[in-house]
Amino acid sequence: METTDALIALDALAHESRLTVFRTLVQFGPAGLSADKLAAFTDTPSASLTLHLQRLLDAKLVSRHRRGGSVIYRARYDEINGLLAYLMGRCCAGYACRPVALKFGKFL
């Protein structure tokens, strides 16, 4: 992943409603959700949801596919993993690392 792509993805996630939509899609896995169900799960008005989904689509963090009469939105795990790899690149100077939270006996 290039720096520009990472910045676009992070900018898309830097909004409470978009982050909620994104996390909901991640939780529903590869099956994804239709826009109406996503709106209900996230308590987001349809007009706002459309704008948030477009930002996530532009950032390549979600995809959409037609299934019958519905449009299904899914998290793009390949892109999410690419973003995480970019963020964690060169972690711990190449040494095996442990999450910082383990030092405190809990996960963040």
Tell me the per-residue pLDDT of 90-107, one tens digit each, with 9 for 90 and over.
777 666 666 554 555 544
Average pLDDT on 69-91 reads 90
* pLDDT at residue 107, rounded to an integer: 44
Q: In this structure, which CATH number among 2.50.20.10, 3.90.1150.10, 1.10.10.10, 3.40.50.720 belongs to the domain 3-103?
A: 1.10.10.10
Task: Supply the pTM of this predicted model.
Answer: 0.81
Rounded CA separation 15/66 (Å): 26
59 pLDDT more than 90 = yes
Residue 80 region by backbone torsions, left for phi larger than 0, else alpha for psi between -120 and 50, else beta:
alpha
Rounded CA separation 35/107 (Å): 32
